[in-house]
Chains A and B, each alone.
Chain A
Amino acid sequence: MADELLRVEDLQKHFPVTRGIVFQKQVGSIKAVDGVNFTLHSGETLGVVGESGCGKSTMARCIARLLEPTGGSVVFDGQDITHLDRTAMRTVRREMMMVFQDPYASLNPRKRVGSIVGEPLEVHDVGTANERKRRVQELLEIVGLNPEHYNRFPHEFSGGQRQRIGIARALAINPKLIICDEPVSALDVSVQAQILNLLKDLQSDFGLTYIFIAHDLNVVRHISDRVMVMYLGRAVELGARNDLYVEPKHPYTGALLSAVPIADPEAGRSRRPVILEGDVPSPLNPPSACHFHPRCPRFVDGTCNVETPTLQPVGQGGGHLAACHFPLEHWPMSEEDMRRGQGRAVVGAD
């Protein structure tokens, strides 16, 4: 793999929880992102999966400095950008763009497509007005839209086409890294495939690096080279796509994989899924030590609720990491296998 493009070290984002209207005092904090580490090489795609509230979007926004991280550092292209001021950050943002989930909310309805896509060019003062217009038309063509639609408004486009506009805008000034936050989850299946194929084509044409955030495990598997699984603000597993999907090591990853419905009636109905009980706990008051322990089939009292597991190499090669005291030995595994004779303690069921 080529050189390192992004290094995230111990990234933290804590949101204060306050009480009172006039004299607000902080009564706690929500640790939305709580010590995430990873590196990203240029040209690769890192998929980030997790359920709602696991901190995946907050992490993305901290990396792009749309939110100020509480702690840790983000090193982009050899430069620590964690504490850069606005002007310096503006230069960095030329290299780092975002594509958002909702193609209806992320495009200004009162602007024409041409000025939406051309806005990054304008902000970064690239070229003359004419050159910018030509570039925008070129971009529209690259993402598969008709360049003559330059003067239309977003409402004249369907969801899939709007997402193409969002992608064209992200591409405008040839960034190195594109952070895609749930780019296809609002789209119909047939249109979703178009956008995924487009993202892949653009990656090979322009050598782009992606952070691809999604809750759909099939989509993430399709597009990613490496995958990170998050739970309550922490990375619980990180590995090459095939290692993680074929031999998951963290029980949460295993449960996620087995909960995905399979579009094949025979295969789908013959398996015995691991179904987790309860909901994701509140991040305001997360469970002690391993955040997953109250729902984990492998919970061992005295270990999982006392010692916080860190990401450790599992399996061969050292590139596959999991934060679990008792990683899965093999896969697939039934719920009984997972339990391995250990009693599952019931800790505050809701």
Chain B
Amino acid sequence: MASLEVKDLSTSFRTDDGVVKAVTGVSFSLEAGQTLGVVGESGSGKSVTFLTVMGLVDPKAATVAGSVLFDGEEMLGLDKDRMRQIRGARIGMIFQDPMTSLNPVKTIGWQLEEAVLIHQDVTRKEARRQSIEILKEVEIPRADTRVDDYPHQFSGGMRQRVMIAMALINSPEILIADEPTTALDVTTQAQILRLMNRLQDEHKMAIVMITHDLGVVAEVANDVIVMYGGKVVEQANVNDLFAGPEMPYTWGLLGSLPRLNSAGGRLEQIPGQPPSLLRPPSGCPFHPRCEYVMSVCRTDLPELRVSQQGDRHVFRCHLDDEARTRIWSGKRAAMTTEDAA
């Protein structure tokens, strides 16, 4: 099975106000059957990273550097025809808003068939058979008649199922899901997450789950990347990340969550606003909001370094090991007593 290896990926956009460095020096790898969670706030570069991977940023406006290896093949700078053979066939993508990603004037069936006909040498009849098959697989009731319906005849959750069906119809090896459940209600979200989980088991594909919801990441991901200001600031196995986060932004994210089992008290808040990518802060991108800021943080970007907890856990922070251990154990104690209260 194929894997995805991204090295030192950077994307910047030229705008009238200057150059926006949306993504800087992002590296990670993804293996078959694994789920990679990518968390970050708006403007952290999580979506742009994967749009770049898919070759979906406008080359006229964007400058891309680095390397994206898919199954050993370099994806950056690939010509259009070759890219089309991969995108939609071997790598599928689901976007956040199922309302705007479907064509309102074509039937669901037509849109699914189109995906098949582009990538496979089959008749329209066969494409239709495959479309009905995949709709059944994503649990659309009465798939053989619903296939002729238009998007407006489907509810939000069903549209997202159609989007998943469309991404899966050519059995991709990697599925990139950009906030797939953000627009959905919580009971529908639970249905969609369960569906994706089942399909992953059956098709043995790798999933990238881009989200701002730490709860979703905790439930589905194997590994997690935390992004801030266009950079990876922490990366770890999901259990390690939630049990022993290593840097102040991740602490803040975990602390600012209202938890089901904590109520009433004050939330820990991260002061200030996410940084402007047009005029990014010098040094560490998080330093203007960090309560442990030191003078070195203002001038030098901390390198990704390996955690004492394991070599697959990396993070960016100038604080020394002793200080970080002390601060996090204090925070964790505060969070658990709050839970008990």
Residues of A in contact with B (beta carbons under 8 Å apart): 51-52, 158, 160-161, 188-194, 196-197, 200, 215-219, 221-223, 241-242, 245, 255-266, 268-269, 273, 275-277, 279-280, 349-350
The reply to whether B254 and A191 form a contact with Cβ atoms under 8 Å apart is: no
B185 contacts A52, CB within 8 Å?
Answer: yes
Are B187 and A268 within 8 A (Cβ)? no
In contact, B214 and A350 (Cβ under 8 angstroms): no
Given contacts A51-B185, A221-B260, A349-B141, 14 further A-B contacts (CB under 8 A): A51-B188, A188-B41, A191-B274, A194-B269, A215-B185, A261-B216, A261-B218, A262-B218, A264-B242, A265-B218, A275-B190, A275-B194, A276-B187, A280-B155
25 contacts between A and B (CB under 8 A): A51-B187, A189-B253, A189-B256, A190-B256, A191-B273, A192-B256, A193-B257, A193-B258, A218-B260, A221-B258, A222-B263, A223-B258, A255-B187, A256-B186, A258-B190, A260-B260, A261-B218, A263-B242, A264-B242, A265-B239, A273-B190, A276-B190, A279-B156, A279-B157, A280-B155
* Chain B residues near A (Cβ < 8 Å): 41-42, 141-142, 155-158, 185-191, 193-194, 212-219, 238-239, 242, 252-260, 262-264, 266-271, 273-274
Bound together, the chains give a CA A197 to CA B267 distance in angstroms of 7
Assess whether A262 is in contact with B219, with CB atoms less than 8 Å apart. Answer: yes
Contact B215 A260 (CB under 8 A): yes
Instruction: Give chain A residues whose Cβ lies under 8 Å from the Cβ of B188.
Output: 51, 279
**Cα–Cα, bound, A100→B238 (Å):** 35
Chain A at the B interface: SS class? helix
A256 touching B258, Cβ below 8 Å: no
Given contacts A51-B185, A268-B219, A273-B190, contact A261 B213 (CB under 8 A): yes
Task: Please judge, given known A-B contacts A196-B258, A221-B263, A262-B218, whether A190 and B270 are in contact too, CB under 8 Å.
Answer: yes
Instruction: Provide the residues of chain A in CB contact with B141, threshold 8 Å.
Output: 349-350
Docked complex Cα distance between A200 and B260 (Å):
18
Q: Which residue of A lies closest to B146 (CB)?
A: A350
Q: Is the CB of A265 within 8 A of B238?
A: yes
Between A and B, how many residue pairs show CB distances below 8 Å? 136
Q: How far is the CB of B182 from chain A (nearest CB, A)?
A: 10
B186 touches A260 (CB 8 A): yes
Residues from chain A with Cβ under 8 Å of B260 in the complex: 217-218, 221, 245, 257, 260, 262
Residue of A nearest to B273 (CB): A158
Q: Which residues of B contact A196 (CB under 8 A)?
A: 258, 267
Q: Which residue of A lies closest to B240 (CB)?
A: A265
Measured between beta carbons, the chain A residues less than 8 angstroms from B41 are 188-191
Closest chain-A Cβ to B134's Cβ sits at a distance in Å of 18
Q: Which residues of A contact B157 (CB under 8 A)?
A: 279
Set of chain B residues within 8 Å of A158, measured between Cβ atoms = 273-274
Give the distance in Å from the alpha carbon of A197 to the alpha carbon of B258 in the complex: 11
Q: Which residues of A contact B255 (CB under 8 A)?
A: 193
Q: Nearest chain-B residue to A220 (Cβ)?
A: B258
Which chain A residue shows the least CB distance to B158? A279
Of the listed residues A192, A193, A219, A269, the one surrounded by the most CB atoms of chain B closer than 10 A to its CB is: A193
A197 touches B269 (CB 8 A): yes
Asked whether A197 and B242 contact (CB < 8 A) given A51-B187, A190-B252, the answer is no
Q: Which of chain B's residues have a CB closer than 8 A to the CB of A223?
A: 258
Complex CA distance for A350 and B141, rounded to whole angstroms: 7
Query: Closest residue of chain A to B215, judged by CB?
Result: A261
Beta-carbon contact of B266 and A200 below 8 Å: yes
A261-B215, A268-B215 known; A194+B271 contact, CB < 8 A:
yes
CB pair B274–A263 under 8 Å, yes or no, is no
